């Protein structure tokens, strides 16, 4: 991946549709900016705020002549409340004739204890459950696209290396997810949600082999994803993470290369977890635990069905 150049190595996207969650800033905006150079039929920039989305779209269109004419559309999406996810998926399913690339990029990190509208721990509900519901609702569109000639459909999930060292020893604390889990650190809860993202990609690859599903850790990137002054762990964030990212972190443009490579490279292997440089096989053992992966899949399907989701598409 070290030689991957988005300007030359992303193929022509004529006729293709891409959706990036969290596309208004950070890695998401960098990814949309790169994709806009390759003539996609439509780019969905999915985020909560229209104001922030419009500002990002203006920046992207001003970045180059090619990007200026790109068809970038704001997609209203708040991953925490399920109704917002359902509305976003319904719009895409109704107006897009295909969906080629789905980047599950958005996320929050180490915010104070809270729950989503449906009562799930806020980081797990936002980073994982919202994305799982979005993927489930878009799966028929993804599968129909994968059946087209010369299709190359990808689902790219943003995970984190923290899943190896900070997640609970059991992996996912299923019995406590319907609470704010305030007895656990923000870092642990973040890592739990990112482990779930790696497991989602792993299980999707097994169940839908015609779609390439992978997860990745983009490395230390100078991105606003973390909670900053609202962060629940001031010492960890301000005395450890911020200085580390300041010294070793790369720009969002450089960091986004990983998810762009995962979205288009022919070297990508279905179900894999990648770290910086396109290195595979560095995931923690829990991210390849088949029993945990299946348990999470079944738990997720049951929870989403309880809130009116249709269930996973049968192949």
- In order along its 315 residues, the chain shows pLDDT tens digits of 778 999 999 999 999 999 999 999 999 999 999 999 999 999 999 999 999 999 999 999 999 988 999 999 999 999 999 999 999 999 999 999 999 999 999 999 878 999 999 999 999 999 999 999 999 999 999 999 999 999 999 999 999 999 999 999 999 999 999 999 999 999 999 999 999 999 999 999 999 999 999 999 997 555 554 444 444 554 555 555 555 544 455 677 888 999 999 999 999 999 999 998 789 999 999 999 999 999 999 999 999 999 999 999 987
Q: Is the pTM of this model over 0.75?
A: yes
CA angle 113, 115, 116 (to 5 degrees): 145
Name the CATH topology of 6-306. Rossmann fold (3.40.50)
Active site residue 182: no
Of 44, 190, 202, 208, catalytic? 190
Q: Distance between CA atoms of 76 and 46, rounded to whole angstroms?
A: 6
Nearest alpha carbon to residue 104 among 12, 218, 254, 269: 218
Of 16, 42, 141, 194, catalytic? 194
Of 84, 159, 193, 213, catalytic? 159
The tokens of 10 are what? Answer: 């992303």
Q: Distance between CA atoms of 242 and 219, rounded to whole angstroms?
A: 14
Q: Distance between CA atoms of 312 and 315, rounded to whole angstroms?
A: 9
Active site residue 293: no
Active site residue 176: no
Contact in structure between 293 and 199 (CB atoms under 8 Å):
yes
């Amino acid at each position: 991946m070290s030689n991957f150049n988005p300007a030359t190595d992303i193929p022509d996207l004529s006729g293709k549709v891409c959706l990036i969650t969290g596309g208004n800033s950070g890695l998401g905006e960098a990814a949309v900016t790169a994709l806009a150079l390759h003539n996609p039929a439509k780019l969905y920039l999915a985020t909560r705020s229209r104001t922030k989305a419009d500002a990002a779209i203006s920046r992207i269109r001003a970045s180059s002549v090619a990007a200026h004419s790109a068809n970038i559309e704001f997609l209203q999406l708040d991953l925490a409340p399920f109704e917002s996810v359902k509305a976003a998926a319904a719009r895409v399913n109704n107006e897009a004739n295909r969906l080629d690339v789905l980047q599950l990029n958005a996320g929050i990190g180490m915010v104070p204890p809270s729950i989503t509208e449906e009562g799930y721990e806020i980081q797990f509900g936002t980073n994982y459950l919202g994305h799982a519901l979005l993927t489930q609702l878009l799966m028929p569109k993804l599968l129909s696209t994968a059946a087209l000639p010369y299709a190359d459909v990808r689902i790219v999930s943003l995970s984190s290396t923290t899943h190896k060292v900070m997640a609970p020893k059991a992996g996912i604390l299923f019995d406590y997810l319907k609470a704010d889990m305030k007895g656990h650190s923000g870092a642990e809860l973040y890592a739990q949600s990112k482990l779930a993202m790696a497991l989602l990609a792993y299980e999707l690859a097994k169940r839908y082999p015609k779609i390439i599903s992978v997860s990745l850790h983009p490395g230390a990137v100078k991105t606003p994803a973390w909670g900053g002054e609202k962060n629940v762990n001031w010492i960890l964030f301000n005395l450890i993470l911020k200085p580390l990212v300041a010294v070793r972190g790369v720009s969002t443009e450089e960091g986004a290369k990983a998810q762009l490579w995962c979205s288009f490279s022919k070297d990508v292997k279905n179900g894999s977890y990648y770290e910086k440089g396109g290195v595979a096989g560095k995931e923690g053992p829990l991210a390849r635990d088949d029993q945990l992966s299946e348990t999470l899949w079944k738990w997720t399907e049951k929870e989403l069905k309880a809130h009116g989701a249709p269930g996973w598409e049968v192949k």
